[in-house]
Structure 1
Amino acid sequence: MQSVATFAALLAVAVFLVPFFKRAGLGTVLGYLVAGVLIGPWGASVVHDPENLLHTAELGVVLLLFIIGLELQPSRLWALRKPVFGLGALQFFGVGALLIGVARLLGLNWAESVLAGLALALSSTAFVLPTLAERNELHSRYGRETFAILLFQDLMVIPLLALLPLLGAVKAEGGVSPVVGLVVLGVVIAVGRPLMDRVFRHVSRIDSREMFTAAALATALGLALLMEASGLSMSLGAFVAGVLLSDSDFRHELEGSIAPFQGLLMGFFFIAVGMSINLGMIVQHPINVIAFTFGLLAIKGFGLYGLRRMVGGAAKVSRMQALALAQCGEFAFVLFGAARANSLLPVDVVEQLTLSVALSMAIAPLLFIIGDRINAREAANQPEQPADDMPDEPNPVVIAGFGRVGQIIGRILRLRGVPFTALDKDRDEVDVVRRFGAQAYYGNAAHLEVLDAARVGEAKVFVLAIDDIETSLRCAELVRKHFPHVQIVARARDRFHAYRLMDLGVTLQMRETFKSSLALACMTFEALGKPPAVASQIIDLFARNDQELLKRQQALYHDESQLIQSTKDAHMELVALLEQELAAAVPPEAEPESPKA
């Protein structure tokens, strides 16, 4: 009964704390760690023996490595080989070497220093990638390079786990030689893929999700146990199983089946780690703990910044990468847990390292804030680059914003021989499109002097294709005020952007996803068996009605309650109108009945 109460307490504290930490931008891992502290020996003492929970929850690490293996398709890894094996190796081994040297200076022997240094060189994938996605920086240059470095770090977890037997951390039962493990690993790699493919094809014929999930768990845990019995680690076995299935037709189904178990068990693992954190060290040695934690962040941050600059990285990109990866990662808990259980590192060292890793993850959000403030200060102190020299002759069309929308417009105009002047405030974007033959100029179209230089007053059409809503509106306001005779054709990000453009008198506009959504809806109806003529009629009627509704709601969009009511009324009107038109235009026998379940 005690185990049921413990399980309930774990779930309750996780459900309460983890969403709070995620919304605060601190990450789910830190939420689980704090949950463990609160219910562990240093908190409410709901759980007195975190070691037992830790052994069970380590299955979450095994399943996590299985999923990482599934996602590492050889073709994808080959496409990313330069940033992954170039920058990734530079960060991991470069920063790792610095940390190993510091560990030696602090009195650890070589084996202890190598394990501690390389484990601390890892960063938190679970924190960094969601943070970059939330900040819309995952597709920026530093975001792509950071992703590549994290991918390399995930790959390095496997050799680190395999390194433990060589360091004397793990001794298999019966004293199995690592050579035996390597032979077994070779056999598994040779015959595993076709054998597992046959197994999953057999299971898929049964059409039972429960059996597929059972087969996925059996595969991951079975190979994990086989590797452990052969003198290697369970995590290595699970990772190999995932890699062997990464190009399989069942990859996505396997990932979906395993993910819920992996996520829950990983949560329990971090809770157990939180329970084992020795908070007494903060009380007894606060200066040592603080100095070690900030020293760790400084070594990782400044070390990566220096290495990245040495290989030609820009200052801003290098700084943001260093701040994003300065914290330590969740796999450090795994490695230090194994080291402690097998007496590779002294207990007091493991407790200090575990505490500092947790504190570094707590500080990580502040590092992003520091980076943003440094960037803002630099931008304020640096004068904006002057705009390019514009063409001497005016063109009938000026395109403001030469990204994914503006470039398509420009390509079509070029096909028909219509000259245009394209403006964009992203210097890198301008340089790229120029290499492809486009005549684009650097300049912020929200500045009147740039519009004057581009001879907007002598143009016939001003195409407003700027992605940022506020910049787009400022630009539209300038053109309407100073060049009222020029026709504006505008791109709107969404419905509310469209309303605000209409407030400025911009009537020729198109919401950027509207036409594509209509086309997809038409395809959907046709896939459901509707005749193309009927599908087109439905879409055309909806499009006309929505455009009229957009004009009517312009006066209401400041009042949310009226806007909601207007939308509901318009929906009911459209349903009735659609029924009438379809009934009048299509005989009942012309439209096939929907298939019955």
Structure 2
Amino acid sequence: MTEYLIYAFIYLIAAVIAVPLAQRFGLGSVLGYLIAGVVIGPVIGLVGEETTSIQHFAEFGVVIMLFLVGLELEPKSLWAMRHRLIGLGGLQIGLTALAFTGAGLLFELPWTLALAIGLILAMSSTAIVLQTFNEKRLGRTEGGKNAFSVLLFQDIAVIPMLALLPLLALPELIAQAQSAAASAAEHHEELSLVAGLPGWAYGLVITASIAFVVVGGHYLSRPLFRFVAASGLREIFTATALMLVLGVSILMSLVGLSPALGTFLAGVVLANSEFRHELESNIDPFKGLLLGLFFITVGAGINFSILFSEFFTVIGLTLGIMLIKALVLFLLALIFRIRNSNRWLFALSLAQAGEFGFVLISFTVQNHVLPPALAQTLSLVVALSMMFTPGLFIFYDKIILPRFEHSSNEREADTIEEQGTVIIAGIGRFGQIVNRLLIANGVKTVVLDHQSTIIDTMRRINTKAYFGDATRPDLLHTAGIEQAAMVVVAMDNQESSIMLVKHIKHSYPQVKILARAYDRGHSYRLRQAGADVIESETYHSALEIGAAALRELGHPPRLAQQQKSAYKRVDDELSAGLYQAWLGESKEGERFDNNYLKLFMQFEDRIHEEMAFERSNHETEESHKA
């Protein structure tokens, strides 16, 4: 018992030290976990033989992750992505396996051995990729969605692979391990519901198992969760959620299917459940811990003796495999018209081998497909490719993405062919609303924006807009700034918006300037630059949400409206004094010092006084009515 507690402490302290440091240096949590594993395993030697056993346990984190992914996907969403799932995923598996099989034949490997290696290396790391997508918020991008489709198809493809790989067994390996084979066969029969069944019966068992997960998840889970939720004990709900995931995983394992695929299917079935969010919040912490443990065991399990004895061979194989996978993925990105930086994200994110590679390697050794020595080298290559993956994401962030963002804005400015009463600088979510309102009332506008992707999107929805930097005097002249009545400044970049306001106020003082402010400090700077009307982008919506919150909490609608009006009245009354205090202190270089802070605290006190006054008035009126 004490020994396991010591190991748990070592793994935890390694994660606590390495992961925050990796995050601070922009390396991501996955690389932090991997480095932690390398340090406590091969480098220091604090952990050793138990790593493989712990890794099998930690792989449950991948199972939980796919359950949570399934919860985010309604069945109709899964059906909508069927073309990417089957077409893109199927081609990725097929072409990658074919490429590695061909490479194996070039090295004069038996075709069965080459095909087995090709299938193993066709898999990518669901754990690393989805975890990194989640951290970097890449899952909603075009490249992220396509990568997810491929990963999901790979998880499904594990099933036919497990059926095919035993057929590739080498006769000489079978002859060398008759006793081991008998032992493995007994073990398999003991833990399997399908061992020895004929093909038709095996198919029926699998179909019945999947049907049970789907039907049971839809009809039986809701009464169960209602019963448990009625107890009011959060820990029992957590236990029930884990029981569900474990039960599905065990069932899938007993019928020879992937536990990850089974739990993903269960998640999809429960995606429309009213308990979905409760399930997510209860299971997510376990996913994070187990995935972190899994990554640590990958790092700790690297066999450095093989690496040092065959350094150039292993590194060459690892880089070669990642390059071939990236080339195949890039080709598929071209075929499926994945554009710009998303093409690179798709190719780089899936260029590694995956955690299912370890499962398949172990399976092939048990079934006498791979020699143990080759399997050890292949496991090392898989682990190293996973370790190099965070570096590919860093390369994407630092090199690829900035180049595409730069080049997308590097094109020549459009020729502005018309002039309008109002020039709108910036057609993002704020500027779009202003533009639609003006056009709907017959006001002619000229829209400028320096982000080419936004301009292209506007044109697809028949909104006329020109690509160009509104801070350029020549573009303002062409847009008719001399004849314009006003300019609406709705740019995202705060410094550029201030620069534009200063230029217009200096060169065209007759033009009214209406500006969007990001926050109070930005509004002061815009006012200082000369903007005539300034509106905070979130001010009015925040007031509306605040009033709605009061109504939902039981405040009478009329009182909630009065409170909202009182807040705005106080803000308007004190805004001039706050601005003057800010202006004086900003000139002295000591912003938000004594005077400003004192006035701001007075503002807070006035808000409380006005709220209390409105509540008192409302109570008096209600008592008179009674």
TM surpasses 0.5: yes
3-state SS of paired residue (2:592): helix
Indicate if the aligned counterparts of 1:530 and 1:591 stay in contact, CA closer than 8 A.
Answer: no
Q: Which residue of 2 aligns with 1:522?
A: 547
Superposition pairs of residues 181-580 of structure 1, within 5 angstroms: 181-189=205-213, 191-192=215-216, 193-314=218-339, 317-336=342-361, 339=364, 344-368=369-393, 370-371=395-396, 372-373=398-399, 384-392=410-418, 394-546=419-571, 548=575, 549=578, 552-556=581-585, 563=592, 569-570=598-599, 572-580=601-609
- Code of the residue aligned with 1:173 in structure 2: it is E
The more displaced of 410-419 and 111-120 is 111-120
Distance 1:572 1:420 in 2: 42
Pairwise CA distance, 1:59: 2.9
Gaps of 5+ in 2: 168-183
Gaps of 5+ in 1: none
Indicate if the aligned counterparts of 1:309 and 1:315 stay in contact, CA closer than 8 A.
Answer: no
Indicate if the aligned counterparts of 1:401 and 1:424 stay in contact, CA closer than 8 A.
Answer: yes
Percent identity, aligned pairs only, is 36
Q: TM-score, normalised by structure 1?
A: 0.86
Output one character per residue of 1:529-580: Cα deviation in whole Å (capped at 9) or x when no partner.
Answer: 2233433333334345446135643444699985276675445423432343
3-state SS of paired residue (1:246): helix
Q: Which residue of 1 aligns with 2:10?
A: 9
Pairwise CA distance, 1:89: 4.0
Whether 1:160 and 2:119 are equivalent positions in the alignment is: no
Indicate if the aligned counterparts of 1:40 and 1:48 stay in contact, CA closer than 8 A.
Answer: no
Distance 1:382 1:576 in 2: 49
Distance 1:436 1:534, change over 3 A: same
Q: Which residue of 1 aligns with 2:58?
A: 57
Q: What RMSD, in angstroms, separates the aligned Cα atoms of the two structures? A: 3.5
Q: How many equivalent residue pairs?
A: 589
Indicate if the aligned counterparts of 1:91 and 1:307 stay in contact, CA closer than 8 A.
Answer: yes
Q: Which residue of 2 aligns with 1:179?
A: 203
Pairwise CA distance, 1:176: 4.5
Distance 1:340 1:560 in 2: 71
Distance 1:563 1:133, change over 3 A: farther
Indicate if the aligned counterparts of 2:30 and 2:390 stay in contact, CA closer than 8 A.
Answer: no
Distance 1:503 1:198, change over 3 A: same
Pairwise CA distance, 1:436: 3.3
Output one character per residue of 1:376-418: Cα deviation in whole Å (capped at 9) or x when no partner.
Answer: 66888999433333234x3210111122221111111112111
Output one character per residue of 1:230-275: Cα deviation in whole Å (capped at 9) or x when no partner.
Answer: 3434434433333332322222212222222222222222222222
- Code of the residue aligned with 2:486 in structure 1: it is V
The more displaced of 383-392 and 194-203 is 383-392
Pairwise CA distance, 1:182: 1.3
Distance 1:481 1:77, change over 3 A: farther
Distance 1:132 1:445, change over 3 A: farther
Indicate if the aligned counterparts of 1:165 and 1:232 stay in contact, CA closer than 8 A.
Answer: no
Indicate if the aligned counterparts of 1:340 and 1:347 stay in contact, CA closer than 8 A.
Answer: yes
Indicate if the aligned counterparts of 2:143 and 2:338 stay in contact, CA closer than 8 A.
Answer: no
Distance 1:22 1:385, change over 3 A: closer
Distance 1:183 1:370, change over 3 A: closer
Distance 1:11 1:526, change over 3 A: same
Distance 1:582 1:50, change over 3 A: closer
Distance 1:64 1:311, change over 3 A: closer
3-state SS of paired residue (1:491): strand
Distance 1:95 1:592 in 2: 76
Partner residue of 1:587 out of 616, 619, 623: 616
Distance 1:51 1:190, change over 3 A: closer
- Code of the residue aligned with 1:387 in structure 2: it is A
- Code of the residue aligned with 1:553 in structure 2: it is W
- Code of the residue aligned with 1:222 in structure 2: it is G
Indicate if the aligned counterparts of 1:396 and 1:458 stay in contact, CA closer than 8 A.
Answer: yes
Pairwise CA distance, 1:47: 4.1
Distance 1:100 1:481 in 2: 69
- Code of the residue aligned with 2:378 in structure 1: it is L
Q: TM-score, normalised by structure 2?
A: 0.83
Distance 1:185 1:322, change over 3 A: same
- Code of the residue aligned with 2:98 in structure 1: it is A
